[in-house]
A = this chain, B = another copy of it.
Amino acid sequence: MSDSYSRLVAKLKRVHVLGTVAGLLGWDEQVNLPADSSDQRAEQMALLAELQHAAAADPAIGELLAELEKCRQSGGTVSETDDMRVVVREARKDYDRVVKLPAEFVAEKARLSSAAYHGWAAAKAKSDFSAFAPHLEKHLAMAKEEAAYLGWGDRPYDYAIDKHDPGMDAATISALFVELKEGLVPLVRAIAASPVRARADIFKNFPVEAQREFLREVTERLGFNYRRGRIDVSLHPFCEGAGADIRMTTRFDADNPLDSLFSSIHETGHGLYEQGLPLDRQGMPLGQNAGMGVHESQSRLWENQVSRSRAFWKFFEPRLREKFPAQLATVSSEELYLAVNQVSPTLIRVDSDEVHYNLHILLRFELEQRLFSGELAVADLPAAWNALSRELLGLAPSSDKQGVLQDVHWSGGAFGYFPSYCLGNMIAAQLWFTVQKAMPGLEDDFAKGDFSRLLGWLRTHVHEQGRRFDTLSLVRTVTGEELTPQYLLRYLKERYAPLYL
């Protein structure tokens, strides 16, 4: 059995290494690719995808899994919490997802995604949802078909959610979101009615090179290991890579230094998680992340709970002023801190502050549910979007571009993905209160520029677990409570009420 297990691990490792090569090609495409080299890159990516699929669908993996599962069912020697059991369980999930989908279906979905992406971009440019609607119809149909192939035919939206957040389902999310909405809407309304407003004139002419130095210092102090990673520039910030080589990106705008800084910190959160996964278990589920929601909890915790705190700015404000003395000469500490924690509603999710952000997700989750249930027709989506936008954000999009067409996700058929963002916010807040209880005086560390106790705690309790737990089990195990939106609500109130109310 141990031999079968070793052979399984070697096979999984092979799939993983091919994935890291494809990941590097993807990073390079966003960061380095010359303007007219994209056809060649597409050929390389297509071949890599073919090789990855062949490695992941290797019948030998199926045979080894069957053997190991049989051994376990017959009593075996493997206990419930054993690493081997986790690896077999998760590898089975991955394997089924690869082999139960016919090759033709996968190819068809790839073709649709490519066509739908271009269709979405064109529709967005013209702000005309009807041009994108047929692609979305097809994606919805294929998402249901995909769920059926995997044995989730009666719960296609739950399948979509489980793909991103293992063990999670629409009913659970719905209950969490109802409770969140109840507490969040009054807070948002109260802040909207507040006369307090952040100064809008602070950030002008912050030279990019100094921004780069500052965010390097910040991300290094937070704990990102630049001997096993780097940060570069791309159109949209992202974090890619695995194990010993994590590649983050940001973007620079001399008139918007907070965008670079906070997007870099956000990606640093993702990067710290990936750097914290056990390196000696790379390529096995125990060396892989636990899903989108948990991943997002790490990026949000560092971006919001940590880096929008007074303690963080107590340490970094003098450093920022050193880099930009003239630009900040007329800005008080309180004005700077308010600017970092600016709250104002916007139609666009990615421009949203962290208070409004969750409302953007509630909107999308609600609409995805209705689309999957058949209650809402694709043709009626823009009207439904606009109505919900008015209800939740108090703003109505003046065009599809500002509303239903703003996000790229649906063009790739990525349903069930949006909820992860909000789950990540909830998990981040719940972890935040847990670690503060476990480690009194944590914010005093921050005020001295020391984030190592927090990182150490996250390493032990979250990062080093890999895929051992599903989303809810991880939260329960680490925090000793079921996942609840109450910590997120409490965090938001504690941060924003003193500033605005």
Contact = CB atoms under 8 A, between A and B. Distances in A.
Contacts of A21: 21, 25, 44, 47-48
Interface string A222-257: 000111111000000000000111000000000000
Interface string A35-55: 111011101100110010000
A32 B244 contact: no
Contacts of A230: 32, 34
A44 B244 CA distance: 12
Given A24-B25, A25-B24, A17 B44 contact: yes
- Complex copy number for this chain: 2
B227 A40 contact: no
A460 B33 CA distance: 27
Interface in A445-499: none
A17 B47 CA distance: 8
A40 B24 contact: no
A290 to B, nearest CB: 21
B20 A44 contact: yes
Q: Which of A14, A17, A39, A227 has the most CB of B within 10 A?
A: A17
Contacts of A282: 40
A36 to B, nearest CB: 4
A245 B33 contact: yes
A63 interface: no
A18 interface: yes
A391 interface: no
A43 B28 contact: no
Interface string A323-335: 0000000000000
A41 B23 CA distance: 13
A227 B230 CA distance: 25
Nearest to A40: B244
Nearest to A21: B44
Q: Which of A28, A37, A44, A51 has the most CB of B within 10 A?
A: A37
B20 A245 contact: no
Contacts of A25: 21, 24
A28 to B, nearest CB: 7
A20 to B, nearest CB: 6
Interface residues of A, number: 32
Contact of A244 (B39, B228, B229): B39
Contacts of A243: 40
Contact of A37 (B43, B44, B244): B244
A18 B47 contact: yes
B34 A245 contact: yes
A226 B17 contact: no
A140 to B, nearest CB: 34
B17 A43 contact: yes
A75 to B, nearest CB: 37
A47 B39 CA distance: 24
Contacts of A24: 24-25, 28, 44
Contacts of A48: 21
B245 A41 contact: yes
Contacts of A227: 34-37
Given A20-B40, A40-B245, A41-B245, A47 B14 contact: yes
A297 to B, nearest CB: 25
A35 to B, nearest CB: 4
B37 A245 contact: yes
A282 to B, nearest CB: 8
A229 B18 contact: no
A228 B34 CA distance: 5
A268 to B, nearest CB: 15
A228 B44 contact: no
A429 to B, nearest CB: 32
Contacts of A17: 43-44, 47
A225 B32 CA distance: 15
A47 to B, nearest CB: 5
A39 B226 CA distance: 16
Contacts of A245: 33-34, 37, 40-41
Contacts of A28: 24, 28
Given A21-B47, A24-B25, 6 more contacts: A21-B44, A24-B28, A24-B44, A34-B230, A40-B282, A41-B245
11 contacts: A17-B44, A21-B25, A21-B44, A28-B28, A33-B245, A34-B228, A34-B230, A37-B227, A37-B245, A39-B244, A40-B244
Q: Which 9 A-B pairs have the closest CB atoms?
A: A37-B245, A36-B227, A40-B244, A35-B227, A37-B244, A17-B47, A36-B228, A21-B44, A40-B245
